[in-house]
Structures are given as C-alpha cells and as structure tokens.
A and B are shown apart, each in its own frame.
Chain A
C-alpha cells in the first residue's frame, strides 16, 4: 500500500511540474515553436532554409516530409502551423474546409525525364515520344520513332522499362498535368493525379526510390524531381516545349516557365509554357495556411512568427538557398502576390503584419 501512495505522490508531482512548464512557455513569446508538414518534392530546399532560419532567429521550426496529401490533411486537422503541397487545393477541396485557406508559392521545381542508357549522353524527347513511351506503345529503345528524333545517337536494341512513383506524389501530379496537356490519349486513358492507373511499368517508392531504380536498371526511363537526378548524376532528357525547342532543365529554363499569367491566389499550373526558352515540366510548390490565424488556441506570438517566417521564405535570402539546390526562384510577380496574401492574414480580425 505504501508503494502505491509513493507512486501516486510522484505522479502528482510530475503532473504539477509539467503544468508549471507549459504555463511559463505560454507567457514567454520567444519560446514559440512552429510545426509544418507536407510535400517531399521541395524538401531539399526546406531542410536548408528551415535550418538557416532557426540559426538566424532562434525560432524552432520542424518540418515533416509526409507528402502533399499529408500536408493538406494536417492543416485540415489543425495539427500544424502551415502545410506544404505541390498540388494546389481545388475549389472543391477548399470548400470542404470550413476556414479560409490561402496559398503562397515558395519556389519552382522541375520534373526531369531520367533514363539509363549507357553511352547515350543526349536524348531528345518530343510530345509524341513521351506519349508513346509512357502509354506503352513504344517498347524498344531503337524504335524508328525514337531514332528519327535522335539521329546522332546510337540507341540499343533493348526493351524500355517505365519507372513511376508507387506512392502518391506531387511529382506525379506535375508530370501527369503535363502529359494531359500534350497527349489526347493520355488525357483520355490516364488523366491527372497524385497517383495514377499506369498503363505500363514498375513502381518505386519516393523520388529516391525511382532515382535508385533507374540508376540500377539499364533501359529504364522515369520522371523525378530535378534535384534527385542532379545529385545522383543520372542522365535526363531534353524535352520539346510548346515552341518546338528541345530544352534542358536549368535554373533559367525553369524560371522561364513561370513568365505567364499568375492569378492573385497563385493557384496555377505552369507546365507546357508557351515561352520559347521554357522547360515545359515545371511547377510551383506551395505553403498553405489559414487566413484567420486565431484557431485552436493558437497565440498571437505563434501567428506573428508564422507570417514572419513565410515572409522570409519568399524573400531574397531564402530564394538564394532554393537556387543552390537547383530550384528556380520565384518570379517577381509571384513574390508580390504572396506579399499581398501575407498582408491579408489576420489574428482575431486584426492584421498580423503591420
């Protein structure tokens, strides 16, 4: 019996300690921590940027790379201060959430068509070839249709293996959005989505999984976030854009794809750009959060820190970090629109930014 009493007392002591702690952190606005979760596509950028911001401001930030869908769900469940996604929320999805959600883009990423053909340094892919390969109609690398576009390259007589993402992914969303724009057959039979019903090929998990499978399988082709191909030295194809030019994914060509119209809520897909120098398979990646920041017992300090951080993330310091890991920085127009969005954020009805 004695033991039980001692146990009870110690539990009570522990509990009261915990209470005191949480009270004191509530008073001290400096001790705010921010939690975010979502897309893995921009993760190489976010990892560096979040770390840098923590070093500079002392604000503790955590980011969970759980996928775009997870990011949206976490925001819906109000377990994060902001979410991250590569696919913007559709009107229907926005209507489902009772509070108003806003988007700001943070950088532009490219999806590259990576392949493994030893000795083939350059591969040009047109709309028709992408359609043929990913629909499973072209099955051999030395198919006449491919050799005709690539007369200078000696293509081997081996089967084409398509590699795709087996998990749901924003990368797949960008790729399928592009394919839907350039191919009627694709639009009709496959469509746009974060995971698809693939006509041919094998699935691998995550960008690293697809990159690894391609680099280990001669004759394979697939799509991956550009940083993963650059970092692992995997060959990637030149893709023909709307103007008929074969374009390599570079910071310039990716930036060029965002030169078109951007709506005020920045919800736009920029694949298949009409700019002559643009790499056609690129896309914004977004941070999503609530316009009214006073929800679920959040404090004014939390709201201010969130908005201050997001303002920094679209600013020049953070954008330079994005460039260092091969994401294209935001165009001026997108930054301007995002600043407007940040100004409209309120806490209990009053604007957070002064």
Chain B
C-alpha cells in the first residue's frame, strides 16, 4: 500500500516537472520576445524585411515562416508516395518475409543518421546532381533542402505507418477476402480506412520533424533572408536562421530571434493540434 502511494506521488512529481519545464520555456520565450513585439507589433510576422545591420535595424519574420512552411510541406509531399508505398510493402504485401524485415531495418536506420551527415551528403552528392540537371546555378535552395528533408522524415512516417497497418485486425481482412475482394480492394477498402487516423498521425510526426530541422537545411538552403520566388530559389528557415545568427546576437536582434523561436514553437503546436483534430475526426 505504502509503495503504491509513493509511486503515485513520485509519478505525479515527475510529470509536474515536465509541465513546469514546458511552462518555463513558453514563459522565457515570451519574455525574451517581448521587446521585438513591443517595437513592431504584429508587423513582425508579416514584414519581409530582415536587416540586422546596426543603425538600420529592421526585423520581419515572414521570409523564414514561408521558407519553413514551404520546405516542410514540400518534403512531406515528396516523402508521402515513397514512405506510403514502403509501408504497404513492408506491412502488407511482404509482411513477415525476410525482404520486408531487411527493408524495415534499413528504413529505421535512416532515422539514426545524424542530420549533419544528411547535410554533407546533400552538399557533396545531391547538389552536383541539381547543378548537372541545370535546375539552378549552385544547387542551393528550397528544392534541394526539401529533398533532403523528405529523405530524413521517411523513417518517421514509414515506421509508424507500418505498425498501424499491421494492427488492422486480421479478421477484417479475412472477412473481406472471403467475400471475394481482391488484394487491391482490401487495401483501399479495409486497411486504409481502418488505419487512416494512425497514418495521418505518423505524417504529422514527420512534418513536425521537418519543421524543426536545422543543420542539414542550413547547409543546403543558401541562407538568403528573402521570400523565395520559386522552387529553386534560395531562402532560409526559422530554425536555420536561429542557429546561424544566435551567437552574435544581442539587443533587439536577440529578441527577434527568440520571437522566431516562439513562432516556431506555436507553428509546431498548431500542426500537432491539427493532427489530433484530424485523428479524432476520422476515427
């Protein structure tokens, strides 16, 4: 009885700590972002002018918000056909075969590669390909970053989708087969409707990962503080900007960077909330 009580209190205390950490983060981010919102108000979010030069300072987060959203959504778009087919392959068509387990392991391994390594690969291998295809002069930009991001988030989307697809009750599938359904019909009429919310959740998780990715993007996006005017244009993302500029920042610039951190926090929260909403709606 006693040990049960202790466990209960310890668990409560630990979860309280996490809540406190979360609240502390929001509090300190909001506090640090205050000066810039006082100076520019909501114009900070819609202004495209980022000039950190002393004496002509002006801060606007729009280029980075757009850069972050475009690269992440494009990555999700590129990632979806690849990872969805892979999940179906592993979890349904070749379920419990050796080839599926090898493939599954390799996909999981992708998740373990540090992002700097993805960046290096993109810099030395992918970039020359983009240049050779004549898509852009130096191969830096939104498109290159999105491809790297897509590869980085494939394992997150795939692994979770795999689990969800394997969890679809066998009875349902067998029932469909016994009614004369083809494999194709089973996938689209039984598996996908059943696993839908879980699959959506796995892509939300992947998107969250893409939104916050820093190092690989910094190495490939070109770090130009402008609103990208095309797929092959250079740009910058929120996370990449913070990582780049934090070291030398003080005063209003530091506040602007913290404000961008707060906005990134909010965007991620909104994406997660949206995901939860979608899951609830479809299940």
Contacts and interface: CB of A to CB of B under 8 A. Distances in A.
B134 interface: no
Interface residues of A, number: 33
Contacts of A276: none
B248 A202 contact: no
A342 B250 CA distance: 28
Contacts of B51: 196-197
Interface string B230-252: 00001010000001110111100
B52 A167 contact: no
A195 B53 contact: yes
Given A69-B250, A219-B137, A205 B54 contact: no
A217 B218 CA distance: 16
A217 B52 contact: no
Q: Give the interface size bracket for B toward A.
A: 20 to 34
Contact of A195 (B52, B56, B127, B243): B52
Interface stretch (A28-36, A186-194, A316-324): A186-194
A167 B245 contact: yes
B242 to A, nearest CB: 11
Interface string B23-43: 000000000000000000000
B250 A202 contact: no
Interface string A187-229: 0001111111110011111000100100011011000000000
A205 B50 contact: no
Given A202-B234, A220-B138, A197 B50 contact: yes
Interface in A250-289: none
B61 to A, nearest CB: 15
A191 B222 contact: no
Contacts of B245: 166-168, 195
B180 interface: no
A44 interface: no
A86 to B, nearest CB: 10
Contact of A191 (B55, B137, B218): B55
Contact of B248 (A195, A198, A201, A220): A195
A204 B139 CA distance: 13
B225 interface: yes
B184 interface: no
A346 interface: no
Given A69-B249, A192-B54, A203-B236, 7 more contacts: A72-B250, A167-B244, A193-B53, A196-B53, A202-B138, A202-B222, A219-B137
23 contacts: A68-B248, A69-B247, A69-B249, A70-B247, A70-B248, A159-B137, A166-B223, A166-B236, A166-B245, A168-B52, A169-B248, A193-B54, A196-B52, A197-B53, A197-B56, A197-B225, A198-B225, A203-B236, A204-B219, A204-B223, A216-B123, A216-B127, A217-B138
Interface of A: 66-70, 72-73, 159, 161, 166-169, 190-198, 201-205, 209, 212, 216-217, 219-220
Interface of B: 50-56, 123-124, 127, 137-138, 140, 218-219, 222-225, 234, 236, 243-245, 247-250
